[in-house]
């Protein structure tokens, strides 16, 4: 016999090798999940809620304000232990629950944000009486966007820094 191939490469060896390769290919396809049809899961609508909390800025947006000359207008003085414009106040007495700072004086006004115990504010407007409370317009000295009306029952006067 004049054969160009060695004796161990014959027709039955080649058919066996191709059969094993075909079986391995089929097993690989099923193991990887390509041959299994995907099931369409109907989970319904799931709403995502994202609350954006603005980061405090180190450079506040400053609007020009009128500063009276003390020589012409005199120096305003606050009566000790009383609230007044320009006084610094601190939230206290909320037992860690926080104080609702509102858009206008009164309990029916929408809360703008929560002020936390020991947070310091500057009084900019007030007083106004509503719903049995005296309300003061307070602004955080470090962030002008944290501003609103607060009930005086939860504010205490602190010395100016």
Tens of pLDDT along 115-153?
Answer: 998 999 999 998 999 999 999 999 999 888 999 999 999
CA distance 42 to 70: 72
Range of the domain at 142: 74-158
User: Considering the domain boundaries, does residue 127 fall inside one?
Assistant: yes
Cβ(150)–Cβ(114) under 8 Å?
Answer: no
Cβ neighbours of residue 157 closer than 8 Å, sequence gap 6 or more: 81, 82, 83, 87, 88, 89
Cβ neighbourhood burial of 51 (10 Å; 0-12, 13-18, 19+): exposed
User: Considering the domain boundaries, does residue 124 fall inside one?
Assistant: yes
User: Considering the domain boundaries, does residue 122 fall inside one?
Assistant: yes
> pTM score > 0.75 for this model?
no
Give the domain CATH number at 104.
2.30.30.40
Domain count, the chain: 1
User: Considering the domain boundaries, does residue 133 fall inside one?
Assistant: yes
User: Considering the domain boundaries, does residue 140 fall inside one?
Assistant: yes
User: Which residue in this structure is represented by tokens 């106040």?
Assistant: 89
Rounded mean pLDDT, 95-100: 89
């Amino acid at each position: 016999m004049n054969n160009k191939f060695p004796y161990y490469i014959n027709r039955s060896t080649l058919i066996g090798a191709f059969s094993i390769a075909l079986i391995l290919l089929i097993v690989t396809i099923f193991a990887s999940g390509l041959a299994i049809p995907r099931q369409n899961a109907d989970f319904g609508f799931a709403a995502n809620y994202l609350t954006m909390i603005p980061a405090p800025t180190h450079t506040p947006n400053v609007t020009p304000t009128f500063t009276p000359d003390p020589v012409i207008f005199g120096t305003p003085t606050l009566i000790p232990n009383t609230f007044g414009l320009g006084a610094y106040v601190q939230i206290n007495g909320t037992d860690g629950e926080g104080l609702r700072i509102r858009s206008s004086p009164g309990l029916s006004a929408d809360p703008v944000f929560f002020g936390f115990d020991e947070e310091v504010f500057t009084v900019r407007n007030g007083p106004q009486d509503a719903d049995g409370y005296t309300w003061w317009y307070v602004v955080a000295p470090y962030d002008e966007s944290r501003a609103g009306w607060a009930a005086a029952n939860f504010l205490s006067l602190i010395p100016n820094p």
